Structure 1
Amino acid sequence: MLTFGSIMKQNADKYSDKPAVIFKDKQWTYGELNKRANQIASAFLSLGYKKGDKVSVMMKNHSAYVEIILGLSKIGVIIVPINFRLVDSEIEYIVLNSESRGFITTAEYAGEIEKLLPNFPQLDTVVVVDGAASASLIEYESFVARGSADEPEIQVDETDTLYLGYTSGTTGKPKGVVISHRSRMLTGMTAAYEYKIDESDVHIVAGPIYHAAPWIFLMMQLIVGGTLVIEESFSPEQFLADVEKYKVTNTFMAPTMINFLVNLNNETKSKYDASSMRVLISAGSPLPTQTKLDVLEFFQDVDLHEFYGSTESAITLNIKPKDIRRKDRCVGQTFPLVECLILDENKKPVVNGGVGELYLKAPYLLDEYYNIPEANEASFWNGYFTVGDMALRDEEGYYYIVDRKKDMLISGGVNIYPREIEEVLYSHPSILDVAVIGVPDPVWGESVKAIVVPREGVVLNELDVIDFCDGRLASYKKPKSVDFMNELPRNPSGKILKVELRSKFWAQQQIKI
């Protein structure tokens, strides 16, 4: 049975005394992890929870997060992970939209949630990890102690929903993405095959578990019987210290995290032995070419993979180490069991080398968007699905994500893809971060603007940036103007909030191209 609970029960038998989870120097074996998951499942059952009920979870990375995922999955209760950085109105939207019946958080956020309780008439259970009980809050360890360590007698099928993950909401309200056990189990199993991960491996969870990608790789490592090292939050130096201490062999990191890591000073990087690391996987946004070269120089023996995917589709495309240098700005070939199409506006296939919208079919896909029929209608076509990304395929069958459809700008009737320009600017030795957007132009409709974050201690001016593009970009693609910022706005997934960057330029325009 392709359910998370069934594989963990099996692993508890096979690897009973083997470390499954390490968090803040404390470890739990597979046997201990499974028993605590059973207790959580039993405790919720004792309160009348049934398959299909939902429990929101909002916390930083914690060993309890793994127990909760596993415990709820054993009884078919749907997990709703919430980003702990959200403000009250955003939390309220997700809890109400998901129709969550329960809520689990940590002491850090308990006061905030307790204030919101009058707005959540459907919530009947709020559990707090590492916190004290009150009239409306249940202390986590006492809650776990209520439950039996025996396996729950609930039939969970692979087609049942495992979790309801909310998209980052770069435009409009976040959408609930309905993900089945089968989807994520197959993703984890296939990822282990693709990245050559087995029970001997140690995976460090550096990114936030509420996000789809760290969740996938967490499941991948537990499915094969390996060990997880969980970091509460990402710190580049602490990451290196943990790699050395626990002999970490693989990890997933978003490009912004990798950028922070490679930009540590050489003295700090040289303090730690990271030679155990053999597989590094990146996704979330394209890995800038210069950052890619820097990380390959630092982790000299690592197999670097970069994949393209989404909450809705899991992993769609993957570029392997053998191609990572040869194929610049490429996201590789289709992940196992994935079929891709590149279609024009009339849903006709685009020839190799042409740009079109990427559609895919795979067993990892979402079931649907939760209670948003218009989004389902817009995203699904003949069994294929799209998130609206523009791509091209070369003659060798390798794919390139050119840009988000909504990020494409049109200047003088010509399509311009900001990602191409950003890649050139990322190679400038004095630029740390960059975003390219279209701004209103009375003649051309839109013109290219670069928004640049210089490296610390560097002075850059507009002409420096524009002149750097000479010979590297066609003249019509070169930025016509440059703004400078100390930091670019990003969502929790690390994606630049271009809507926010554009807003001040388009606010007075009746037509927003």
Structure 2
Amino acid sequence: MKVNFARMYRDNALKRPDKLALVNTERKREFTYKELDLFTNKICHLLTDHFQLEKGDSYAALLENDNMSFLNFGPYKTEVAGVWLNYRDNLTEHLYQIDYVKPKVIFVEDAVLLKDGYLKELNNRGIRIVCMDRSDKEHEKVEYFWDIIKGQSDAHIDTEYDIDEHVILYRFTGGTTGRGKCAMYTFRNIFGTIVQNHSIPDNIYREDTKFLHMTPMTHATGAFAPPTHMKGGTNYTINLPDLELLCKTIQEYGITATFAVPTLLYRLEELGLHDKYNLSTLDCILYGASPMSTSKLETLQNKFGNVFVQGYGSTEAFPPVLSLRKKDHIIKTAEDRKRLSAAGQPLLGVDVFVADPEGKEVPVGTIGELWIRSDSVIKGYKNAPEETASEFENGFWKSGDLGYVDDKGYFYIVDRKKDMIITGGFNVYAVEVENAVNSHPDVSNSVIIGVPNEEWGEIVHAEVVLKNGSQATEQEMIDFVAAKLPKYKVPKSIVFVDELPTSTVGKVLRRHVKEKYWKDTFRKVH
């Protein structure tokens, strides 16, 4: 089946030509739907006419959210593929990903070119460089976006491509358990996540939606921009996960929805910003990307109201594929409190089940691996046939997440396969222990790992970040968890740290903590 996305994009703009489509709050730019349609036509002509890119070619984007917002959706009008690079990664990681996909053009911020190594390395690779905003320093062999976009046509693009076969986007997995793999997206995948987002029962996406993108648009929040656009809402961007700026922006623009990872939400509550700013227009906070502590979620619910919606997904299954609705966050009974730890129920068009090691569905309540199939699930990884064959089967993606489903169709994630701790023959799921530790009133965040032990193979170990001014002791923490969990799940050792290592999108990097304890051992279970 063929798709003419440019026509779909234009027809969406014709319905509401003068409606505000995009606001870059830090750069003070606004685009109506008509203006954004014409402007993204210019970008497409820049790619195909100025740079002479064709089907099979790609361009890379190494940008902050304000500038990334132009390349998030509109360039799908062409047959040229995008490569989304995380602005907060380092030079080594960026060059690895660039060398892997080999884009012919890269769009970058001036601040990137001012860093050591970038300009030289990009020029050495023969990549044409487009700098989005000028500074006082003029860079050699660099073109400037606002200079070259002026001369481009805004004429309608009339390109069709195969909805299932043509790759329009490359993104790398987060690499929390190793080096990221290169996911390939077709238009079917992008359209699938739009449908799944629109099917969330809480009616997040409306014509009056004002969705604020704070975390990188190259990651999870990027999945929420197209559904906002196709419903006639307005996308807003800020460039850094600055919580004070987030609250100021919500208050100033009357933001109705945003996305945040759990670590940011914990900090938001600790800072008390909900008391300092008027956040009353905010009727949805989508959260995901990593597990949320149920006790902290309950605290957030009490502070911010019934505005939380969980979206479960991944790079391979563009989010969300499961959703925990607002009404699922209301706690009246012990059963309600337990449900708060669920990842959610499947959304429209999502086929998910819990599998045993042979890929057979297991009974309700039995732990296994979640297998997921939907239009938003990619077909595989670029140039990685063995990894693709290992992780995909019959259209299903084998998520690597261990969990179970209850008799009401709620899926619960208990751990990642690689994060399960085996101590004295018992299986301990790190997420369960983290939830217990995080429920202590003095704890800001924690990570649970298995560390080597001659007698038990592994023992449960915790690294804990305390809230400012808190003085909890190791024994106090162990006793607290012992009152909640069986003895074999209780941490045998606890180290208090100032911060936990996190990825550039806020996920705790468990493997970085584990490496401190396993680097000199022969058996590396992580």
1:3 Cα shift?
Answer: 6.2
1:76 Cα shift?
Answer: 1.9
Distance 2:265 2:520 in 1: 38
How does the TM-score come out when normalised to structure 1? 0.95
**1:220 equivalent in structure 2:** 227
Paired letter, 2:515: S
**1:56 equivalent in structure 2:** 60
Distance 1:425 1:294 in 2: 15
The yes-or-no answer on 1:143 pairing with 2:148 is yes
Paired letter, 1:187: T
Distance 2:473 2:186 in 1: 50
Structure 1 runs (4+) greater than 4 angstroms displaced: 1-4
1:297 Cα shift?
Answer: 2.0
1:373 Cα shift?
Answer: 0.7
SS at match of 1:169: coil
SS at match of 1:290: helix
Paired letter, 1:114: L
Paired letter, 2:78: I
Distance 1:273 1:6 in 2: 40
**2:69 equivalent in structure 1:** 66
**1:189 equivalent in structure 2:** 195
Moved more, 20-29 or 96-105: 20-29
Moved more, 109-118 or 408-417: 109-118
**2:460 equivalent in structure 1:** 448
SS at match of 1:367: coil
SS at match of 2:358: coil
Distance 2:346 2:74 in 1: 33
Alpha-carbon contact 1:448-1:478 (below 8 Å) kept: yes
The 5-angstrom pairing of residues 28-427 of structure 1 reads 28-46=31-49, 47-62=51-66, 64-112=67-115, 113-121=118-126, 123=127, 125-131=128-134, 134-159=139-164, 160-194=166-200, 195-196=202-203, 197-211=205-219, 213-265=220-272, 268-300=273-305, 302-314=306-318, 315-324=320-329, 325=331, 326=336, 327-427=339-439
Rate the CA distance shift 1:418–1:353 in 2: closer, same or farther, 3 A. same
Alpha-carbon contact 1:4-1:185 (below 8 Å) kept: no
Rate the CA distance shift 1:71–1:471 in 2: closer, same or farther, 3 A. closer
Distance 2:35 2:496 in 1: 52
1:71 Cα shift?
Answer: 4.2
**2:29 equivalent in structure 1:** 26
Distance 1:421 1:400 in 2: 15
Rate the CA distance shift 1:375–1:119 in 2: closer, same or farther, 3 A. farther
Rate the CA distance shift 1:3–1:216 in 2: closer, same or farther, 3 A. farther
SS at match of 2:431: helix
**1:10 equivalent in structure 2:** 11
How does the TM-score come out when normalised to structure 2? 0.93
Distance 1:475 1:296 in 2: 31
Alpha-carbon contact 1:251-1:280 (below 8 Å) kept: yes
Distance 1:219 1:128 in 2: 25
Distance 1:139 1:253 in 2: 32
Identity of aligned residues (%): 29
Alpha-carbon contact 2:501-2:512 (below 8 Å) kept: yes
Distance 2:325 2:291 in 1: 15
Distance 1:171 1:303 in 2: 31
Q: Find 1:430's aligned residue among 439, 442, 459.
A: 442
SS at match of 2:65: coil
1:269 Cα shift?
Answer: 2.9
1:230 Cα shift?
Answer: 0.8
Distance 1:287 1:252 in 2: 13
Distance 1:49 1:42 in 2: 10
Paired letter, 1:394: D
Q: Deviations over 1:277-323 (max 9, x none)?
A: 112211001121132123222322x4321121101002221111222
Moved more, 186-195 or 501-510: 186-195
Paired letter, 2:315: T
Rate the CA distance shift 1:409–1:3 in 2: closer, same or farther, 3 A. farther
Paired letter, 1:512: K
Task: Show structure 2 runs of 5+ residues with no match.
Answer: none
Q: Deviations over 1:3-34 (max 9, x none)?
A: 65333211221111111111124311111111
Distance 1:307 1:491 in 2: 19
SS at match of 1:154: coil
SS at match of 1:310: coil
Q: Deviations over 1:480-511 (max 9, x none)?
A: 00111111001123221111111121122111
Rate the CA distance shift 1:372–1:465 in 2: closer, same or farther, 3 A. same
Paired letter, 1:424: A
1:2 Cα shift?
Answer: 5.7
Paired letter, 2:342: C
1:118 Cα shift?
Answer: 4.2
Distance 2:250 2:483 in 1: 42
Paired letter, 1:305: V
Q: Deviations over 1:229-264 (max 9, x none)?
A: 111112212212211221111122111221121122
Paired letter, 1:470: A
Q: Deviations over 1:406-429 (max 9, x none)?
A: 000111111110100000111101
Paired letter, 1:228: N
Q: Deviations over 1:432-489 (max 9, x none)?
A: 0100000011111110001101111112221011011122000000000011111100
Distance 1:4 1:200 in 2: 24
Alpha-carbon contact 1:128-1:140 (below 8 Å) kept: yes
SS at match of 1:7: helix
Distance 1:394 1:106 in 2: 48
1:138 Cα shift?
Answer: 0.6
Distance 1:151 1:60 in 2: 27
Alpha-carbon contact 1:55-1:77 (below 8 Å) kept: yes
What root-mean-square deviation, in Å, do the aligned CA atoms of Structure 1 and Structure 2 show?
Answer: 1.7
Rate the CA distance shift 1:119–1:416 in 2: closer, same or farther, 3 A. farther
Paired letter, 2:295: Q
SS at match of 2:520: coil
Distance 1:2 1:290 in 2: 46
Distance 1:229 1:139 in 2: 24
Q: Deviations over 1:362-390 (max 9, x none)?
A: 11111210110111111012332113110
Alpha-carbon contact 2:20-2:31 (below 8 Å) kept: yes
Distance 1:4 1:486 in 2: 48
Alpha-carbon contact 2:214-2:259 (below 8 Å) kept: yes
